[in-house]
Structure 1
């Protein structure tokens, strides 16, 4: 099973698989050349660029997160420098396509970024045309969860599955539905925005989009960590456990470490995990009854908790779902790990228009 590594070590991706989104017809029809994958996070501060050959093998990769949230122009200038560095190693061949995975609302059909909830200046920005002009080759853009789902279904744990729900549990929460190897975008390309499902009817916390009680506001990595740190102020034992597991850097605790503390018996962490499974279970149970998937793939940093998340979530879904809807359902951790978005961007670039 292939995966790209954050270190930039070259690894192969199989060159077989079904087509992806609705605008895609088949594999990229070429025998020589290169493609580029670009990842832009929801705040624009985390950016990655990878050069790959037509087998999906990573030849050069750069990941340079910024320590601040940049405006759009600053982020784009930063990406231009990274693109120049990456494509400079492809002078002996042809750059054929650029795939871009964006952590926000994207109109994939028109190549527009509708908005990034954690950054300014991106509303209705024609990112596809911008990059096409910059690199003078065709570009494909899509939401990062759609791109990651596509990669998992073609090259990862979702291969061979007919109906797959992908849930990216990171700083935000994104989702994607893949049916018969194709990403379902919906009428306005907002299908799969599971993070903005209402799960707390009244008095819920504020979401990045401005709404209240959305799944992202209670079950994202940021929400999990902030909730535990905030509650631990009045619980010295939990504060000490956080310092222990983070080597004294409490602000760097990860969602996966919160799950670890819960497994070790910390009561506050256990309560937090219970809340995550409750609200995530509500959202997923509703989707299971609506689309009847054969597999739910959990990706993103929260999914790094592995069975500490999947086990209790599976039990909750079994209680919430009709037996006929649950009996053939598998809930798994994504096989592409934290590189799934960038793998997805490369996968987008390897599709033919």
Structure 2
């Protein structure tokens, strides 16, 4: 069943927070940098005039006039009504960023639901579409579901907006270089989907990411402190996983997997089969899909969907249940072991289980007991909201690449 919603939830897309650095690290002219700085100034203020930009950036009026003319012709900014100045002088025309100039489709996965979002340049959700995909689905069915979501979103693409690309944040093994979704334990029949090639019919760039990487990228963009030293992102929900960044760069592997803490074998003699095919993995003892059958004996209404489970767990005190206590013990120990692999400066916690205050506190206490005493004091824990990070993180480079082209001046000097 396809669920479509339409909203304009405004959240400044992190690509707009540092537009003025868009040409850094490559060949560019001073005039290119000036064009990016002027657009950045408009994004930061929301509205401005040519005179106000001239004063705030210290540029020559002729430079500002020329670049603003280009930006208007490129449809990146628009002009508003004349604005009366205090005292004498002619009215000034207000300028506004045109966030509808570019749009992008973002695909994410929650539990066994594929979610699509159509976002504009400011991170506003123009439309969204969700569809559940049965566990037994094979390649063709999954591809058809994805295409159905994209087509539903493109039907509401504003007529004056250009589709800049498609970004997908996917669970399992993802070969980002080749654009292949290799496997996912949520859909055992999924096998080597050449997703970038399959979606080439839309004639836009397609970028695939391992699910937690764009979430961590998003947090790095939002908070410059996270780009100092090591940052570990830990997710505990339908599945269990992690991502790690060193000095602002997310670490990856050529295999398309990284930080697979959920598939660490913690009970070798266990008869519990993991969704990955192995036995005794951490997920078999602590992931939402594994604890749900036992949890439903006490709470039959416990949902499988992560956002719904988040609301459920905030209202119910499930601590004290044997299945939860066991899960906490295994997760605390595993997180402690993961910490001793990277020794990060901070740990970002994400997922529905983290949203329960009692579980969070027990996790921190168990974690503290599992690591050497001399490492405990500097550890910084932060609970992050994962409602939009993956969706925005997977289109960051799409918008940035498109903007970089538009923010090059056409003056050949």
Task: Name the SS of the counterpart of 2:204 in structure 1.
Answer: coil
**Displacement after TM superposition at 1:291 (Å):** 0.7
**Displacement after TM superposition at 1:87 (Å):** 2.1
CA gap of 1:331–1:60, structure 2 versus 1, over 3 A, is: same
Mapping of residues 52-67 of structure 1, within 5 Å: 52-66=119-133
CA gap of 1:90–1:159, structure 2 versus 1, over 3 A, is: farther
CA gap of 1:106–1:309, structure 2 versus 1, over 3 A, is: same
- In structure 1, the residue matched to 2:338 is 287
Contact 1:128 1:139 in 2 (8 A): yes
Are residue 273 (structure 1) and residue 324 (structure 2) matched? yes
Contact 2:210 2:256 in 1 (8 A): no
Q: Number of residues paired by the alignment?
A: 316
Mapping of residues 63-82 of structure 1, within 5 Å: 63-66=130-133, 69-82=136-149
Alpha-carbon distance between aligned partners in 1 of 2:292 and 2:232, rounded to the nearest angstrom: 25
Larger RCO (CA within 8 A; separation ≥ 6): 1
Task: Name the SS of the counterpart of 2:255 in structure 1.
Answer: coil
CA gap of 1:196–1:66, structure 2 versus 1, over 3 A, is: closer
Q: Which 10-residue stretch deviates more, 58-67 or 203-212?
A: 58-67
Alpha-carbon distance between aligned partners in 1 of 2:379 and 2:139, rounded to the nearest angstrom: 41
| TM-score, normalising length: structure 1 | 0.78
Structure showing greater Rg? 2
Alpha-carbon distance between aligned partners in 2 of 1:189 and 1:111, rounded to the nearest angstrom: 10
CA gap of 1:255–1:54, structure 2 versus 1, over 3 A, is: closer
- In structure 1, the residue matched to 2:220 is 153
Alpha-carbon distance between aligned partners in 2 of 1:37 and 1:178, rounded to the nearest angstrom: 22
- In structure 2, the residue matched to 1:11 is 10
Mapping of residues 227-266 of structure 1, within 5 Å: 227-229=294-296, 232=297, 239=298, 242=299, 246=301, 254=309, 257=312, 260-263=316-319
CA gap of 1:351–1:324, structure 2 versus 1, over 3 A, is: farther
Alpha-carbon distance between aligned partners in 1 of 2:212 and 2:228, rounded to the nearest angstrom: 17
**Displacement after TM superposition at 1:312 (Å):** 0.9
Are residue 296 (structure 1) and residue 364 (structure 2) matched? no
Alpha-carbon distance between aligned partners in 1 of 2:137 and 2:225, rounded to the nearest angstrom: 35
Counterpart of 1:134 (choices 179, 183, 201) is 201
Alpha-carbon distance between aligned partners in 1 of 2:224 and 2:327, rounded to the nearest angstrom: 24
Task: Name the SS of the counterpart of 1:90 in structure 2.
Answer: coil
- In structure 1, the residue matched to 2:164 is 96
CA gap of 1:221–1:120, structure 2 versus 1, over 3 A, is: closer
Contact 1:72 1:120 in 2 (8 A): no
- In structure 2, the residue matched to 1:116 is 184
- In structure 2, the residue matched to 1:170 is 237
| TM-score, normalising length: structure 2 | 0.68
CA gap of 1:149–1:279, structure 2 versus 1, over 3 A, is: same
Contact 1:38 1:342 in 2 (8 A): yes
Contact 1:172 1:221 in 2 (8 A): yes
